Amino acid sequence: MDSNMYNKILIKNGSIVDAQKGNIYRGDLYIKDGIIEDIKDVIEIDNKDITIIDAGGLTIMAGLVDMHVHLRDPGLEDRETIESGARAALAGGITSMVCMPNTSPVLDSPSLIKYVIDRGKNTGCSIYPVAAMTAGLEGKNITGMGLLSEAGAIGFSDDGKAVADSKLMFEIMRYSKQFGKPLILHEEVRSFSEHGLMHEGKYSTKLGLEGISRLSDDLMIGRDIVLAGVSGARIHITHISTSGAVEMIRKAKTDGIDITCDVTAHHLFFNDSHLESFDTNLKVKPPIRDVRDQKALIEGVADGTIDAIVSDHAPHLDTGKNTTFKLAEFGTIGLETLLAASYTILCRNKKQGFEKVARLLGSGPAEIVGIDGGIIRKGMRADIAVADLEAGYTVKKEDFRSRSKNSAFIGQKLYGKIIYTISNGKIVYESGLN
């Protein structure tokens, strides 16, 4: 559908989610020239040039903000491009994406940061690049954070790798304080994970697969909390997977450390028993851990320890997944299932309030990376997702818009279907028409 034809949109009779205030109320929402013009119980406008969406029985929320996405562009466009990733995101109600720097070449220069921003401009989705902390993600030399920040980087990360040198990590933290941008930290001690394939525990033993200890995550998280406490740096621990991580971050927050964290939808939804299927789409890093860890992560969402839910969208070719578990690549796609997987496990199964989940998918991550988004307010840019939370569907490989199809959720029954996505005041996705 031609998204440029809509300048005025009236959404009527919907349940509007105010994630910041923590409530849901029935009302109408009027969008004019890309801005939320009005929100009222009832809005009546006599104008033939207006598009009216009847949202009766539907939920109106701010467009989702996914702060951990791998777009593979530049360099690995056979897996995903900025354009194909944006199409997938919009189908998932995501209007803002934060993309990681482990492309080929690595996003460690101002020109490459500008390349991502320029390529993202006409996709209908706001795309924000994260720059590498070290040149080439090699963990040796700090990048020019000042120039990268000026070019448009909204944070710094060596995602996919952890900086093993503790002294260098401390220097990165001290240097980063000048720029007010978060350090997004992938936490992994390679000596504990190097040959591992899944969580180390009962099921790795049963399946004969080499395990990855919780110590791989926990030791590095503990180190970086200590370094952040001394340096005063602002750190964000991404895709946490262990009960120990939740406990350490919870305590660090009470101790005044400037720390936030996120969890993926698949770490909330699955535990290591699901790997009995040997489904290589469940081979991810950090690994999907056991029931105790899964429970701790869900509790971390409930008590506010966890600040955001992300997809960690990691596209791979079929050749990278349609092989033995040992040889398969790590990672799952997740843009199109982010809302539904989060809603299904947290709200339908664990009975948590959707207002909180909406915040973790919207204003929470937006605040962490310092962008506009995740909020429904008069005068704000109109980034909106309209969903039928009661609509259930079975995830099918052939339905994905992502260039890659390696989803851990294939075959799962999920609830929460995106009906419309509105980005910058334009309808950019409509269920059944895209």
Which residues participate in catalysis according to the annotation?
A: 312
Q: Is the Cβ–Cβ distance between 352 and 421 less than 8 Å?
A: no
- Residues contacting residue 110 through CB under 8 Å, at least 6 positions apart: 144, 147, 148, 150, 151
**Three-state SS for 297?**
helix
Nearest CA among 374, 348, 350, 371 for reference residue 360: 374
The helix (run of H) or strand (run of E) holding residue 175 is helix 166-176
Q: Is the Cβ–Cβ distance between 67 and 24 less than 8 Å?
A: no
Q: Is the Cβ–Cβ distance between 310 and 67 less than 8 Å?
A: yes
Residues 90 and 423: their CA atoms lie apart, in Å, by 8
Residues 39 and 18: their CA atoms lie apart, in Å, by 11
Give CB contacts under 8 A, 24+ apart, made by 145-150: 145/175, 145/176, 145/178, 145/179, 145/181, 146/178, 146/179, 147/110, 148/108, 148/109, 148/110, 148/113, 149/179, 149/181, 150/110
Token output for 253: 């927050």
